[in-house]
Every structure is written in structure tokens, then in C-alpha cells.
Amino acid sequence: MKMTGNTLLITGGSSGIGRGLAEAFHDLGNRVIVTGRQTTLLEAIAAERPGITGLHLDLDDPRSVAALAEQLRDRFPALNVLIANAGISRPEDMRSDSWTARTAEAMVETNILGVLRVTAAVLPIIKAQPHATIMATGSALAFVPRADFPTYCATKAFLHSWLVSLRHQLRDVPVEVLELSLPYVRTGLTGPAQAQDPRAMPLEAYVAEVLAMLCRGDHPQGELLLERDRARRWAERDGTYAEIFSAMNPA
């Protein structure tokens, strides 16, 4: 991936990892567009970073995605990088009589269909540009799940498989297809506790590591994976799946 001189679109870019990446790429001399559902957050980042453009987007609404695509064609025809980062995560207790599929459906809508919708909307623009890249935010939990977040982990497993196929289909276009395989990072993804959890990797440190890997081209098979997460990534291959699953999900 080219590190400067791009026009980037980052979904879910008004907070958390998306905002961290947006600011880092802006500092490197890229034109950055961020999207989100909360107008106040978009206005805040535009005020603090006048060079970053904030656009409203509801990934759960196909009409909103279509409207975004129209804006991009009119205002940002040189768009060459998509970072599909928006996602939600919620715990689920399927033992409870009050559990319904509603929470799971919301995660499937945003984490899976949202990525598919925004990719389909911008791919005709991106694939016509030089140095084109599509990067999506996955998770190391795609490979060994936390059982209290069943649907979230499953959406990331879906995304990993889908990106493998997308990468193969676009191999001759060419569009580079990358997957951010997230560790546990201090963001508000699961609520305020995660943003303060000392066990979680500081956001700034994670963003710096991602940029360093991109600069080195250190993403074998298109995956940006920290060393600490390699054991989970290759647990099936290494015969350590049951051991790691038990450690992550104590009885």
C-alpha cells in the first residue's frame, strides 16, 4: 500500500481505531474522508482536523450507502483506498430466556452487510485508480472465538473468508486487499470498560504498529497480524486450538 498521496475513505472513522488511522494517514499527507452515524463526532473531527472530511453514513441503510457513492463520484473521483472499519460488538447470553436474535442481527447487518455494501459501492471508483487498496477490519477472534461474543466472532470469521475470495478475484485488476486482524485495543467497541482496560493495547501503539507493518510491506497473505496474535491465527494448524479456546473461555 502506498503510504502518502492517497485519497482514503474510512468507515467508522469518527472514533476508535478508525479515527486513529484517519489522523495517522492525514499526518502522512493523504486526503482523508471519514464516515459515521453520529453527526456530532463527524463535526468534532472536522473542527479539530480541517483537512479531514466527515460524511454521514448509515451502513445499515442501502440508500445511505448509495448516496455516499454519489458524493464520492462527484467530490472525490480520485478515491483509491477504502478502509472498511465500521463495526459493532455485543456480548450474548444464549442460555437466557430473554435472549433473542435481535442483537446478532444488528452485528450481521453492520459487520458483514455493511462491509459488502460499501465495498460494492466504491469498488467501481477504486479499481480505476493506481495504487488501489481495500482494507477491512477483522479480528484475531475470527480464528479462536470468545464464546460470550458468539456472533461478533462469527462475523469476523465470515469477513476473513470473504476477503480471501475478494483478494483472489481482484488479483489481476489490480487492487490490493488487506485484512486488519485486530488484537484487544483500548477503544469503546464493547463499552467504556474496554477503553480503560490496562490489559488492552493502547490505541496509539496499535496504530503505530499498523503503519510500521504497512511501510515494511509486512502482511503475508494480505493479513496485518501482531506477533501476539499468531498463536490464535494458527491454532488449528498447530494443534493448539482446544488449549487456547479453553484459556480464553474458562469453564
- Reported as a single tens digit per residue, the pLDDT across 119-132 is 999 999 999 999 99
**Residue 75 resides in a domain:** yes
Please give the Cα distance from 177 to 60 (Å, whole number).
23
Contacts of 81 (CB under 8 A, 6+ apart): 1, 6, 7, 8, 9, 30, 126, 131, 132, 133, 134, 135
Cβ partners under 8 Å of residue 63, min gap 6: none
Question: Is 72 within a domain?
Answer: yes
Burial label for 13, CB within 10 Å (0-12, 13-18, 19+), is: buried
Q: pTM for the whole thing?
A: 0.95
Q: Is residue 2 part of a domain?
A: no
pLDDT tens per residue, range 196-214: 899 999 999 999 999 999 9
Please state the domain count of the chain: 1
Catalytic residue among 152, 184, 206, 241: 152
pLDDT digits (tens, 9 = 90+) for 170-202: 999 989 999 999 989 999 888 888 888 999 999
Task: Answer whether residue 251 shows pLDDT above 90.
Answer: no
The answer to whether residue 152 is catalytic is yes
Find the CATH number of the domain harbouring 23. Answer: 3.40.50.720
Range of the domain at 150: 7-248
Whether residue 1 lies inside any domain: the answer is no
